[in-house]
């Protein structure tokens, strides 16, 4: 193999890696994207939901780099592998999409299942009141999709399913932040 061919292979690999990283950062701002949570945790969360169609997208445990769509239906949770074609388009069955966002929007009005009518709908907040934490330190975002804040700021927690990085809102912005930079607050805001 020539050096030029090796360079082209490495370039393609880096492009794929960068687009996966970019995709993760884009999805990290979506309420329905839960990143790397186990199938069992997805089932536990969705079984607490009242309505059929409550869903989340997570990174696949069995196929790293791929995604799974987990959806509540009846007393069960169904899992769908999100497929990709050679052009990088996402799909469950036949209709293909440029992004996970497009796939989700389509399946809000078109069933995700071939056997039952299941339409995607947002997960309901389980808590009656929002959960807040207070910043112990300043945090300056290093990556797109991270939430910056200053010591003493109050942050509304939107997702704390990951033990290290939580999703929250502060000063009109939302994003991911390190859990060890904050402390719980007993306060309704």
CATH 3.30.1330.90 is held by the domain 131-185: no
pLDDT for 66-76, tens place per residue? Answer: 999 999 999 99
pLDDT for 30-75, tens place per residue? Answer: 778 888 888 998 998 899 888 999 999 998 988 888 999 999 999 9
Token digits of residue 86: 């050679």
Q: Give the separation between CA 164 and CA 182, rounded to whole angstroms.
A: 11
Contacts (Cβ under 8 Å, ≥6 apart) of 91: 82, 83, 84, 85, 97, 103
- Look at the domain 32-126 and name its fold: SHC Adaptor Protein (3.30.505)
Coarse DSSP helix, strand, coil percentages of the chain, rounded to the nearest 5 percent: 25, 30, 45
Domain boundaries of the chain, sorted by first residue: 1-30, 32-126, 131-185
Question: Look-up: residue for tokens 């112990």?
Answer: 136
Q: What's the whole-model pTM score? A: 0.57
Q: Cβ(148)–Cβ(142) under 8 Å?
A: no
């Amino acid at each position: 193999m020539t050096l030029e061919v090796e360079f082209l292979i490495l370039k393609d690999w880096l492009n794929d890696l960068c687009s996966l990283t970019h995709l993760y950062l884009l999805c990290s701002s979506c309420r329905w994207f839960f990143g790397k949570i186990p199938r069992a945790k997805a089932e536990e969360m969705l079984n607490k939901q009242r309505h059929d169609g409550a869903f989340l997208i997570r990174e696949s445990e069995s196929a790293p780099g791929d995604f799974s769509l987990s959806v509540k239906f009846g007393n069960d949770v169904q899992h769908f592998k999100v497929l990709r074609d050679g052009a990088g388009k996402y799909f469950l069955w036949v209709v293909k999409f440029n992004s996970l966002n497009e796939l989700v929007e389509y399946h809000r009005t078109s069933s995700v299942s071939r056997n039952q009518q299941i339409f995607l709908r947002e997960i309901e907040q389980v808590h009656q009141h929002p959960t807040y934490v207070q910043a112990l330190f300043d945090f300056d975002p290093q990556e797109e999709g991270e939430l910056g804040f200053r010591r003493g700021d109050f942050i509304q927690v939107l997702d704390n399913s990951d033990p290290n990085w939580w999703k929250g809102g502060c000063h009109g912005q939302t994003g991911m932040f390190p859990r060890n930079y904050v402390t719980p607050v007993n306060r309704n805001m």
